[in-house]
Structure 1
């Protein structure tokens, strides 16, 4: 009879994945204490945190996060631990991951701002030519600046920011969809900021500069702030900028938005990942709350707007979720920050 072949020892990280999936809290604690790497990917592209999250083992998720497990790592199919917890309807685990992710992003934002070089903030997008067609605007890299499928969303945004009538500000003209919708509400004054020279030229050619109640301000919003007043409704939708730029714009809201006014923005942050999108919804809401604003998110189904043919010729699908959460922001009634 042949002697049994010795099996190679199982690596601590493999054991960590197995015990995380199985809910063995004691084993996970022991392995982490012994130095097992919580950021390890197994042969299937799964981390211990992903295994624990997919089974709803909240206590183990907390242990792994405290040990430095990356909450934002992806499987080969593009899912993070939060996505896996959401798929399994493990709400307690989702809430834990969400809270951790928001706090991590708040810290990261602070670090980013401290290291940011403001000497060259203008996006290269403004120096590039853009191509116009009936249903989209494209940049030189075949990325969509704006597409016509957004029309129902823009109409909903316009309805929100025109609730109080009066003076309305839109930052970023694009295809003009939201501005056409705003015009139907006949605001007293409609100010539009547009920074791209091609888009600006097309606005003028289309007659926007001749509308009696429309004021066009050409330039980056950062540069034209001194030309602005106060408004009853504000919409923000720029292309070629980062979240930090929108965060910077929010710092000016207490002076730009009149008491009782409505602010909204195109909520395209992480529009290709459900969990990341929720993280940024909460992050923006929290940061606006610190400025004295409350935010509600109105769910709008968009699945029927997104056909496969829609993305033909587009390098990157900037939206892949079935629901769009439209933000409606107002100053808290007890806030003393507004004018």
Structure 2
């Protein structure tokens, strides 16, 4: 324990030689000191990229959180230490590619199956699941309108696909672009029933497919714009969907998705933005993130009655994904 405490002090003081000696001797690199900080957090606050690389080499957890809910990456971001930040982002991406430890807490599929089997509650400004978690909320309307503009704005009478109806915010926005074809996939029976009762099934240019996207995939065609926003799935599920983009998205088309990964932690969110960009890049797509300020959309009273705040950041980064110029 004493050696572990000394490790924190060495990181705090920038004593690289002592840090290396203690880590080599087996001191616990994941130790939290009396301030609730790990050696990696101390090194990140100082912007000591060399110490960060050393600690990561000895197994320091990149995603450990302080009592205030801050990671080493958050401390590097707050202090403006770019080299330290990039080192931690790289470590996070490499770890998530192997483990997926932040955005995936349970085996893929199980949470969604549970959600689809239970009732949801509708009100004017939200949809709630059986555990009082918000499925979708009205504060997202400006974001959904921006997503619709991103995937529809470059087309006159285009063909569009939305995976996940929710409150219908993005689909209502898509309709304003007079699409020639508008396909909606919705898996929850209560949401589907509400769609039908609201007249969505009577719109001439709308095709509704009831079921999980995995199950209705054979019925999907090709589209000029695609939006993806499911509830109860993890990144592994969305990554699986990405494998079908080359078949589903027309040349020059735009793909976007609700970018809610790690919406309560700024650093983890950055890691996932870069992770998705990397993985889509491997499929031949370039991704740009358009920053949208959302702080004014989220007064504290919005979350009254909601068990968990799924978004706590001041800026939302809207993804715009398109086939790279050099892709086939």
In the alignment, structure 1 residue 177 sits paired with structure 2 residue 169: yes
Q: Tell me: CA distance 1:196–1:117, structure 2 relative to 1, closer, same or farther (3 Å).
A: closer
Question: Which residue, 57, 67, 79 being the options, matches 1:76?
Answer: 67
In the alignment, structure 1 residue 98 sits paired with structure 2 residue 89: yes
Distance 2:78 2:57 in 1: 23
In the alignment, structure 1 residue 43 sits paired with structure 2 residue 22: no
Displacement of 1:35 after TM fit?
Answer: 1.3
Aligned structure 1 segments of 4 or more residues deviating by more than 4 angstroms: 115-118
Distance 1:63 1:151 in 2: 45
Q: TM-score, normalised by structure 1?
A: 0.93
Displacement of 1:325 after TM fit?
Answer: 0.2
Q: Tell me: CA distance 1:334–1:87, structure 2 relative to 1, closer, same or farther (3 Å).
A: same
Question: Which residue, 221, 227, 230 being the options, matches 1:235?
Answer: 227
Summarize deviations over 1:162-210 as a string: whole Å, max 9, x none: 0224100000000000000000000110000000000000000000000
Displacement of 1:109 after TM fit?
Answer: 4.4
Q: Tell me: CA distance 1:142–1:82, structure 2 relative to 1, closer, same or farther (3 Å).
A: same
Contact 1:123 1:241 in 2 (8 A): no
Distance 1:326 1:123 in 2: 27
> Hey, what does 2:244 align to over in structure 1?
252
> Hey, what does 2:282 align to over in structure 1?
290
Contact 1:161 1:263 in 2 (8 A): yes
Q: Tell me: CA distance 1:236–1:53, structure 2 relative to 1, closer, same or farther (3 Å).
A: same
Alignment size in residue pairs: 324
- Look up the SS of the partner of 2:99 in the other structure: helix
Query: What root-mean-square deviation, in Å, do the aligned CA atoms of Structure 1 and Structure 2 show?
Result: 1.7
Displacement of 1:34 after TM fit?
Answer: 1.3
In structure 2, runs of 5+ residues without a counterpart are none
Distance 1:33 1:235 in 2: 49
Q: TM-score, normalised by structure 2?
A: 0.96
Q: Tell me: CA distance 1:138–1:45, structure 2 relative to 1, closer, same or farther (3 Å).
A: same
> Hey, what does 1:131 align to over in structure 2?
121
In structure 1, runs of 5+ residues without a counterpart are 1-9
In the alignment, structure 1 residue 32 sits paired with structure 2 residue 23: yes
Displacement of 1:100 after TM fit?
Answer: 0.9
Structure number, greater radius of gyration: 1
Question: Which residue, 303, 319, 322 being the options, matches 2:314?
Answer: 322
Matches within 5 A, 1:11-30: 11-30=2-21
Distance 1:203 1:262 in 2: 25
- Look up the SS of the partner of 1:260 in the other structure: strand
